[in-house]
Amino acid sequence: MNGFFTLFIILAFVDLAAHRPSLKPWAVTGRSVQMFTVSVATVFGAFILDADKLFFTLLYVLAIAGCLVIIFYSSALRFKLGSAAAEVTLPLPAPNYCTRYGLTQRETEVLDCILSGQSIAEISEALFISQRTVKFHITSLLRKTGTTSQKELLLLLYEKQGK
């Protein structure tokens, strides 16, 4: 019965991890083998509860060890794939846009964060300014470039770069 209780705690932690950004590796790990682990624990756990034989206990331990190997291997592989995908980015627009549109240094920093795909909250944390200040800088960027949305701003910068 202890095995099922431990499994329940692990699965609860995995579900909690999906809502906590600091626990992302647990979410990836858990979701990759969650159902497999449950089925293995159910099958082998029933044998352990019904029989006192050493064979079934060893089989259960080996199955759990195999699950752990799969968990850590798959999460490491997904982490590597995620890192590789994150490294593929579009080239940043030329710096002459800063002078062409009369952008301040802080507006340029906010623009760089927008170009890297960060949200307002992430920009706020990265630049150590409030979210309201980030919104102010975005509004200023839109006004200076004559655009009405962040998407339009990005299209403008990348279109001009291609020409």
Q: What is the largest CA-CA distance in the chain?
A: 79
- Write the pLDDT tens digit of every residue in 126-156: 899 999 999 999 999 999 999 999 888 888 8
Task: Match domain 96-162 to its CATH number in 1.10.3720.10, 2.130.10.10, 1.10.10.10, 3.30.420.10.
Answer: 1.10.10.10
Place of tokens 């962040």: 150
Could you tell me if 32 and 68 are in contact, meaning their C-beta atoms sit under 8 angstroms apart?
no
Model's pTM, two decimal places?
A: 0.44
Rounded distance, CA 53 to CA 37, Å?
Answer: 22
* Spatial distance between the Cα atoms of 144 and 69, rounded to a whole number of angstroms: 54
What pLDDT, on the 0 to 100 scale, is given for residue 140? 94
